Structure 1
Amino acid sequence: MPALPSFLAAAPRALLLFSLLPLGAAAQPPVPVLRLSPVAGQPAQMQLTLAPVVPGWSYSAECSTDLETWTPLSGATLSDSAGVRTITDAAASGARRFYRVAGPSLEGFRNPNPTRVFFIDATTGNDLATGTSPAAAWRSLDKARQKGLKAGDVVRLARGSVWTQQSFYFGGGLVGTAAAPIVIEAYGVGEPPTIDDPRAPWIDSDTGEPAHFDAVFLDGSSAYVRVLDLRIQNAHPQRSGVNTGWSSHDIVIAGVEIANVGRGMVIRGSRQKVIGCLIRDLVAPTAAAEGINFFGTDQEFAWNRFINCHSVRANGDDGNAFEFFEPGKVARDIRIHHNVIDRCFGFMELDSTVDGLTIAFNLYVNSPNEALEFHLDDSERQGTVDSYKNTRIENNTFVPLTNAHLNGWGIIGLLSSQGAGDPPIVPANHSISVRNNVFVTAYRVTTDNLLGASFAHDHNLIRLVGTGQRGDWPLGAGEVVADPKFADAARGDFRLATGSPAIDAGAVANYSYDLLGTLVPTSGAPDFGAYETE
């Protein structure tokens, strides 16, 4: 038997092995911690606890007697509670066992029992082939549309392939079912399958070339579609990487990397998820530079990373990780959590009515002071005033630039021109709560509170740098002005060091795991910010 790694923990007849899977470029939930203990009064049983277990992601427990051959842990009972999975191995007697967990992974989003499987390979494929095996793969992406995909179909794209001036255009809709989703995913080894300079499957009459278009277009009738493992790059500045229609629903975009496009994604519809994606380098001067422009009902954006979404223009910079901008329309149940926003022009600009918006356990760094900007007047669309109801901003860490962009409305801005003839702001139409956050600012946390008690805040830590001020922010219950004592801010480590006043100082948290997957709380009360101290 090979020598045991030093990090194995011994137990009677059993050893615990951490399966450390690389995160790769795209964000994703952390590798969970696996703990092992005997079951009291049951000498033949072992109990494993796995945390955090994040909904929508796949984890698989395996066992071995020799560290060489691993098999799924069968015959075990399983229960989940508050982000913790408990697995009881009732057959742990006999030879010493080793345990490991694989995950988190996108396996939970795949279709394990496809109706049909088609393969596309940009290097060795042939559009005259059947497309039903790697050896008979198609070459062009549009073959999937021409085939007429049905519920349960899976399209597999060869890793290492690059499709130039092509796209997945499904203008007629792509409709799976809950039991039989349509999945687009990678196969093989190598770099992610890549769509470069995406174009439509028709010719632009003005240029005589394929028209610039979104790389993945799912129109309003699309449902139960999952797009995984893809890389999209170098789109026209007015086009997006992924675009879902207004009536679409139950679409998952996961493990996708998007770079150098106008907008990373335009997400409309209901019950949509964007999970574990990387959106970066949206910088073209004519680009909107929005990581995800969204609107709809029951949408979740989690474990994503946004880097350098910032368009520099002569008439003013632009760009945000998120854009929520449909004045006069109503969205419901939006969840933005466990994301990293780095070197973007802002976290999110909001000008839409929403009932139910959660912004939790996100990290915002190396970006301007104006992070979350709520429009309260009709300056963007005359006669239309939006409201923000049941909006929760909790357990985020905001560390904006302290040497630039020291102006505007503050980290959480409540915007209104309040000019003559503007509709009045009605605080009763809003309810925003701000709790358990860490704010670092050389300018303001909030310049003007135009909502009174409808903008409530408690249990936050504020660090003022240089000439920074709280602004219109009287300290509420459990709020302090202090140094959060980051572990190593200069190197981007915004965890809390021993002795931080943010430790165990928070109110009840909305999620049971932090940005690194540590259970919340670990002891006592939750910490302030996106990181819980173990």
Structure 2
Amino acid sequence: MGRAYMESIIPRWTVPALAVFTVSGLLVAVPGPAQARAGGVYYVDSEKGDDAAAGTSPEKAWRSLGKVNDARLRPGDVVRLSRGGVWQGPLRLRAKGTAARPVVVEPYGTGSAPKVGGEGTESCVVLGGSHLRVTGVRASGCQWAGFEVTGDDNELDGVLADRNASGVNLVGARNVLRNSVLTRNDRMSVNDNGGDNDSGAFGVLLNGDDNLVSDNVITGSYAASEDYGTDGAAVEVFNGDRNRVVRNIARDNETFAELGARKGRTATGNVFAFNVVTSSRKRGSFLITRGAGHVVGPVLGTVAVQNSVYLPARDTIGWSCHDGCSPAILKLRNNVIVVGGQMGYEDGAGADEGGSVYRGRSRGFKLGSRSVVADPRFRGGNDLRLKPGSPALGRGLKLNPAWYGGASQARDLAGKAPSVVPDAGAYQH
């Protein structure tokens, strides 16, 4: 568990309005500059700028992030960072926009994503205000988080984070992370010998409540650990309630999701829906949660629904609900989970499980209604769509929108809503 508990593969692009690039065979689009709006527009150029300039045009751009940090930004203001620019962090945004007129940070010009990073920077981009929107910015090589969001009602859209201890750390409430690429966030924040306390290598760390993590690509959350051999998670929840993690593609992470809470705190009601999880690593897991008998338990009300998982190595597990598992701890519906190791594990009263297809070497739980052990017939190791004749077709149990985190999230990776009798897994046919 993370600080919670207590150049890489990013390509360059040249299209100023919309950047499209490939990660693990996927086309990912990053939004370009926002439409014109009321409010001031400020430009920052790390090579040609001048902090003595007005900052109001590309020709009069500021040079340093310090000018942005000190600026009194108001609702509707826009800060534009030059593509190809590189800055030593941090970029600190304390402004308060409104829902109708957020304060926006975005790229301009041509070239690679504007990059904020550097050794010795604790967190590269810190959003401490509200109704802030950051898009198309890269945060790289930070000691802690690429993007640390301590405020509420903010949005990260189309950002990139790599080589941090945590790609994105959502501490505040009602924030959104979408359409982003988080890759090789492979630093440990704690890594010492003994104590069962190593932590780090998070794609996303959720410490806040009611946040949405959707439609992202998260890869390579994995690092050497003195205590565990290796550690890391695509999404880690610690002391965070009612977060929704939906339609993400996760590849080659140590674990997809791990949950815990400090004693006296909660991590209740978190939802994982329509995620696709694959890995070629020698060990890994889909979801790890705990009952009251664990030092970071109990974690109540976790829901995992309509996920597709393929972890073929022998030292893998689909899901684990231990130290006092019960239906109040974990509910699973309509998943397709293929592993080289144990399909799932429960103790105590066991999880509430059903409508799923499993395949693996062993099983440590009781199958629920309509669940079967069978080959789901994926199209391939990285393509977890179902072939005709798959036992996952029409296998799922009928669910209301609350299972998915609300009606707005009840759709698969292609935007298709589940039918009355849904298919198991992240893809509906």
TM-score norm. by structure 1 comes to 0.67
CA displacement at 1:300 relative to structure 2: 0.3
Q: Does 1:349 align with 2:245?
A: no
Corresponding position: 1:266 with 2:162: no
Distance 1:105 1:213, change over 3 A: closer
- For residues 58-82 of structure 1, what are the alpha-carbon distances to aligned partners after superposition, in whole Å with 9 as ceiling and x for unaligned? xxxxxxxxxxxxxxxxxxxxxxxxx
Give the SS at the match of 2:423.
coil
Shift of 1:493: 1.4
Counterpart Cα distance in 2 of 1:197 and 1:344:
24
1:337 counterpart letter in structure 2? V
Q: Using the alignment, how far apart are the partners of 2:397 and 2:21 within structure 1?
A: 33
Q: CA deviation at 1:145?
A: 1.5
Q: Which moved more, 1:455-464 or 1:506-515?
A: 506-515
Q: How does 1:199-210 map to 2 (within 5 A)?
A: none
Q: Which residue of 1 aligns with 2:180?
A: 277
CA contact (8 A) 1:269 1:296 kept: yes
Q: 1:147 and 2:37 equivalent? A: no
User: In structure 2, what is the equivalent of residue 230 of structure 1?
Assistant: 137
The whole-number CA distance in structure 2 between the counterparts of 1:263 and 1:269 is 15
How far has the Cα of 1:244 moved from its partner?
A: 1.9
Which letter maps to 1:267? L
Shift of 1:132: 0.2
CA distance in 1, matches of 2:342, 2:394: 25
Unaligned runs of 5+ in 2: 1-17, 192-198
Q: 1:240 to 1:312 in 2, by over 3 A?
A: same
Residue 438 in structure 1 maps to residue 345 in structure 2: no
The CA RMSD measured in Å over matched residues stands at 2.6
1:471 corresponds to 2:364: yes
Mapped pair 1:371 → 2:371: no
Q: Identity, % of aligned pairs?
A: 28
Determine if contact 2:322/2:347 at 8 Å carries over to the other structure.
no
Give, in angstroms, the shift of residue 442 of structure 1: 2.5
Partner of 2:305: 394
Q: 1:413 aligns with which of 298, 301, 320?
A: 320
The alpha-carbon distance between structure 1 residues 504 and 444, as it changes in their structure 2 partners (threshold 3 A), is same
* C-alpha distance after superposition, 1:283-335 (max 9, x if no partner): 24557101111122221000111111101124321110111123xxxx43211
**Once the 2 structures are TM-superposed, how far is the Cα of residue 227 of structure 1 from its aligned partner?**
1.0
Pick which of 475-484 and 131-140 moved more.
475-484
Q: Secondary structure at the match of 1:143?
A: helix
Contact 2:116–2:125 (CA<8 Å) still a contact in 1? no
Q: Is 1:393–1:433's contact at 8 Å kept on the other side of the alignment?
A: yes
User: Quick one: which of 294, 300, 314 aligns to 2:212?
Assistant: 300
Match of 1:340 in 2: 249
Match of 2:271 in 1: 358
- Report if the CA contact (8 A) 1:214-1:243 is conserved: yes
Tell me how far 1:449 sits from its aligned partner: 3.1
Q: Which amino acid aligns with 2:305?
A: E
The match for 1:16 is none
Pairwise CA distance, 1:191: 1.2
The answer (yes or no) to whether the contact 1:216–1:242 under 8 Å persists in 2 is yes
- Equivalent position to 2:235, from 318, 322, 329: 322
Residues 369 and 216 (structure 1), Cα distance of their counterparts in 2 relative to 1, 3 Å cut: closer
Q: Distance in 2 between matches of 1:119 and 1:26?
A: 29
Residues 242-292 of structure 1, C-alpha deviations (whole Å, 9 max, x = no match):
1122xx210101111111111112111111101111111122455710111
Look up the SS of the partner of 2:245 in the other structure: strand
Q: 1:227 to 1:378 in 2, by over 3 A?
A: farther
- Equivalent of residue 520 in structure 1, options 405, 414, 418: 418
Say if 2:134 is the partner of 1:242: no
Q: Which amino acid aligns with 2:371?
A: E
Tell me how far apart the structure 2 counterparts of residues 335 and 30 of structure 1 sit (CA, whole Å).
23
1:463 and 1:482 in contact (8 A); partners too: yes
Q: CA deviation at 1:111?
A: 6.4
The match for 1:290 is 202
Amino acid corresponding to residue 325 of structure 1 in structure 2: F
> Are 1:156 and 2:67 matched, yes or no?
no
CA 1:377–1:332: 2 relative to 1, 3 Å: closer
CA contact (8 A) 2:89 2:125 kept: no
Give, in whole Å, the separation in 1 of the partners of 2:396 and 2:19.
Answer: 32
Bigger Cα Rg = 1
How many aligned residue pairs are there? 387
CA contact (8 A) 1:229 1:255 kept: yes
- Please tell me whether residue 256 in structure 1 is matched to residue 159 in structure 2: yes
Structure-2-length-normalised TM-score:
0.83
3-state SS of the aligned residue for 1:118? strand
One of 381, 388, 410 as aligned partner of 1:498? 388
Residues 36-55 of structure 1: pairs in structure 2 closer than 5 A: none
CA distance in 1 between partners of 2:347 and 2:109 (Å): 54
Residue 114 of structure 2: aligned partner: 193
Kept after mapping to 2: 8 A contact 1:111/1:154:
no
C-alpha contact 1:25 1:278 (8 A) present in aligned 2 = no
CA distance in 2, matches of 1:216, 1:259: 13
Does the C-alpha gap of structure 1 residues 527 and 268 become closer, same or farther in structure 2, counting only changes over 3 Å? same
Distance in 2 (CA, whole Å) between partners of 1:185 and 1:297 is 26
Q: Is contact 2:30-2:180 (8 Å) kept?
A: no
Q: Does structure 2 conserve the Cα–Cα contact (< 8 Å) formed by 1:484 and 1:501?
A: yes
Q: 2:137·2:160 contact (CA, 8 Å) conserved in 1?
A: yes
- AA aligned to 1:308 is G
> Which has more strand, going by share of residues?
1
| CA distance in structure 1 between the partners assigned to 2:235 and 2:339 by the alignment | 21
How much does 1:218 deviate?
2.5
SS of the residue corresponding to residue 493 of structure 1 reads coil
1:115 counterpart = 2:78: no
Q: 1:58-97 residue pairs with structure 2 within 5 A?
A: none
Identify the range of structure 1 (331-340 vs 365-374) with the bigger mean alpha-carbon deviation: 365-374
CA 196–268 in structure 1, closer or farther in 2 if over 3 Å, else same = closer
SS in 1 for 2:224: coil
Q: Which amino acid counterpart does residue 341 of structure 1 have in structure 2?
A: A
Counterpart position of 1:212: 121
